[in-house]
């Protein structure tokens, strides 16, 4: 079993959009993210995207469209010289009470089971409280936030709650790995 770096998608790798990223044409890779993953490619951690995509459950986009965005993002990471070892996505809306939608730990537990991940030695990097809660609920060893997404809206850095806060993915990976 190997540890993983779990990455939220929107706000960590792609810019958040209030109306959801619904096509690759709307996707904007956050500056420095590809380079950070390229620098970390030889690290023994697995790199896994875990993302809530309720736009599918809300009927705003199809599952095929959501999967296409994820495939394209993984391709861009590979083309830059980095790697993604898995993508796990919840398509449910908050009111569907599924086990996979963050803040519940289902996506992380599924990834751990399918990819042989040691959660206690893993890292989760997110941009919202739900990411942190999912990491804690799954038993992820270290959780961290980046300021490139929803963190600024929630103001976690100002509360001093003990969560490591980084400017972006590059800074987080440099410090955590």
Tokens 């890779």 found at: 29
The answer to whether 38 touches 174, Cβ cutoff 8 Å, is no
Active-site entry in 10, 127, 131, 168: 10
The answer to whether 48 touches 87, Cβ cutoff 8 Å, is yes
The yes-or-no answer on residue 168 being catalytic is no
Quick one: tokens of 60? 């705003």
Active-site entry in 8, 127, 131, 168: 8
CA-to-CA dists, residue 25 to 22, 56, 68, angstroms: 8, 17, 11
The yes-or-no answer on residue 10 being catalytic is yes
Alpha helices in the chain (DSSP H): 33-39, 54-57, 63-79, 106-115, 129-138, 151-154, 156-159, 169-176
Catalytic center residues: 8, 10
């Amino acid at each position: 079993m190997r540890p993983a770096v779990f990455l939220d998608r929107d706000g960590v790798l792609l810019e958040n959009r209030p109306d959801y990223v619904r096509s690759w044409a709307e996707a904007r890779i956050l500056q420095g993210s590809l380079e950070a993953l390229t620098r970390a490619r030889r690290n023994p951690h697995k790199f896994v995207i875990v993302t809530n995509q309720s736009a599918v459950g809300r009927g705003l986009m199809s599952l095929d469209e959501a999967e296409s965005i994820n495939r394209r993002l993984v391709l861009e990471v590979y083309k830059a010289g980095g790697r993604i070892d898995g993508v796990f996505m919840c398509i449910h809306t908050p009111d569907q009470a599924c086990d996979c939608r963050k803040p519940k730990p289902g996506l992380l537990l599924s990834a751990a089971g399918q990819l042989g991940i040691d959660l206690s030695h893993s890292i989760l990097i997110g941009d919202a409280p739900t990411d942190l809660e999912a990491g804690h609920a799954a038993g992820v060893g270290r959780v961290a936030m980046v300021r490139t997404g929803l963190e600024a809206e929630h103001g976690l850095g100002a509360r001093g709650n003990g969560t490591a806060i980084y400017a972006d993915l590059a800074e987080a990976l440099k410090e955590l790995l």
